[in-house]
Amino acid sequence: MTSEKQGLLIDYEFCTGCHSCEIACREEHGFGVGTYGIKILEDGPRLRDPENDKKKYTWRFIAAPTDLCDLCAERVAMGKRPTCVHHCQAAVLSFGTIEELMPEIMRKPQQALFFPTGEREDPWAALQAKREANREIADSMKQDFSTAGESVDTDWENAVLDDKTREDLEGLIDEYQLVIKDDESGVTWLGDRYPDKLALAHIKTNTAGIMKILKERSR
Ligand code: SF4
Ligand code: SF4
């Protein structure tokens, strides 16, 4: 009987560690920074033969799909290959059914076969649902900023954080796990460093506006 289960065959002997698969996967799925559908792990550098040769090192890269890998279901449904496979210049990633890949894995060592269990909750759907909820929070906060009265009219482009303000702000930012950056041109709220908590908030405003809203929310 033929299994329809599909997977990725990873030949880690020749992976160059170029990270193209990581980036392609992130672009395809709209993952934020720090979220991976596939991640390059590194083993090394370490001496190949520490007893006899102190000059030759090995440095291995291993592409490891994460729980978010859905084997590019949408692309595959359109007859395309998964995007990581498509973008791997070293051609060390292969996609196929388990029946197709098993003979390949028997052909040489230093390969790994990955396939999702398909039995657990779909992690990608769960992440999307969280993002949707967080986007609503971000939108409501954006609304709050836009109705923050006089603070919105402040000349935020010239806003500068003094030490006390920065300290207060950092406490609140920590609490809300936000990332904020001030530079010569003012203050930019970049959104959350943790995409599963608050995504896609990119709001330019002034220090007073941020303080006002976050303080209100911290009560
Ligand atoms: S198959 Fe698709 S989802 Fe899975 S790691 Fe590759 S690019 Fe990401
Ligand atoms: S794109 Fe291919 S060679 Fe580059 S890191 Fe990913 S698996 Fe390795």
- Asked whether residue 187 carries a pLDDT value surpassing 50, the answer given is no
Judge if pTM exceeds 0.75: no
**Cα angle, residue 31 at apex, residues 27 and 33 outer, rounded to 5°:** 100
- Asked whether residue 212 carries a pLDDT value surpassing 60, the answer given is no
- CA–centroid distance, 70 to ligand 1, in Å, is 6
6-119 topology per CATH: Alpha-Beta Plaits (3.30.70)
Per-residue pLDDT tens digits for 158-170 = 444 556 555 655 5
- CA–centroid distance, 103 to ligand 1, in Å, is 22
Nearest by Cα to 26 from 173, 127, 102: 127
For β-strands 203-205 and 186-192, DSSP reports them as antiparallel
Per the CB < 8 A criterion, the answer to whether 68 and 31 are in contact is yes
Per the CB < 8 A criterion, the answer to whether 1 and 15 are in contact is no
Give pLDDT, residue 116: 82
Q: Whose CA is nearest to atom 2 of ligand 2?
A: 88
Per-residue pLDDT tens digits for 17-31 = 999 999 999 999 988
Q: Whose CA is nearest to atom 8 of ligand 2?
A: 15
Signed CA dihedral, 56, 105, 38, 28: sign only: positive
Atom of ligand 1 nearest to the CA of 29: 3
Show me where the domains of the chain are located: 6-119, 124-218
Q: Whose CA is nearest to atom 4 of ligand 2?
A: 18
Instruction: Dig out the tokens for 133 from the structure.
Output: 């909820």
Instruction: Dig out the tokens for 111 from the structure.
Output: 């390969």
Compute the mean pLDDT over every residue in the chain, rounded to the nearest whole number. 71
Number of C-beta neighbours around residue 175 at 10 A: 11
Per-residue pLDDT tens digits for 111-142 = 999 988 665 566 567 666 655 665 565 555 54
pLDDT, greater one: 4 or 34: 34
What CA–CA distance (Å, rounded) separates 194 from 207?
22
Distances (CA, A) of 120 to 3, 68, 112, 178: 19, 11, 21, 31
- Does ligand 1 lie within 6 Å of residue 199's CB atom? no
Q: Which of 12, 92, 110, 114 has the most ligand 2 atoms within 8 A of CB, as the residue to mutate?
A: 92
Per the CB < 8 A criterion, the answer to whether 98 and 5 are in contact is yes
Instruction: Dig out the tokens for 45 from the structure.
Output: 């550098």
Give pLDDT, residue 209: 56
- CA–centroid distance, 91 to ligand 2, in Å, is 8
